[in-house]
Structure 1
């Protein structure tokens, strides 16, 4: 009986650990134009994403409103910050657009296993734009 209880506790613990680390949004995604690839990760119970690959490597963050940041590389830049999970939606975050140098409020919604809708907006979600990223499965 003790062995059965110990086995059950170990199985329950394993399921809890696996469930916490296996969030469906985690991983690598490609934007619709194919110019950028973003890796989404979790830190301190929030979700973030950085550009780990861009088509034209070596590009600088020239449009950044902060002149001190205009010489940094776009590749490696954290462009998704501070998202909180609410079901299949990730909200209360921001997305930085290095092409314009602007930061927008953002929410992300999973569409199946391999599609992620990214909605950037100003003020309210109605005033924004959505693009669909595809999961990189290679």
Structure 2
């Protein structure tokens, strides 16, 4: 972790919600599709449903890379909607078969996508699952 202090899930989710334009965030185990934690979303977005659906996106991309014989890892996946950005950031700290991702939904009108991706990368680096 490069000397950075490890943060727990709750702290990481709070930090992600502090990103300008954040609507909701979830930490998800993509082998099971279960969320380890969620924040935000509210009445406009059920983060558990969104997290489960994006598990399928990750699985499809991993399967496609395997079929293509590519050895590249997935850093993040960006989905652009009319009014939102959805950023799926795979955690690089795989241990014992763990496969987690951070899923962040952003209001497109308020978010700075480049800065949000940078901040999410920083949160991922400090997160200890």
TM-score normalised to structure 1 length? 0.32
Query: More strand by proportion, 1 or 2?
Result: 1
The structure number with the bigger radius of gyration is 1
Q: 1 or 2, which has the higher helix percentage?
A: 2
Q: TM-score normalised to the size of structure 2?
A: 0.33
Structure with more relative contact order (C-alpha pairs < 8 Å, separation 6 or more): 2
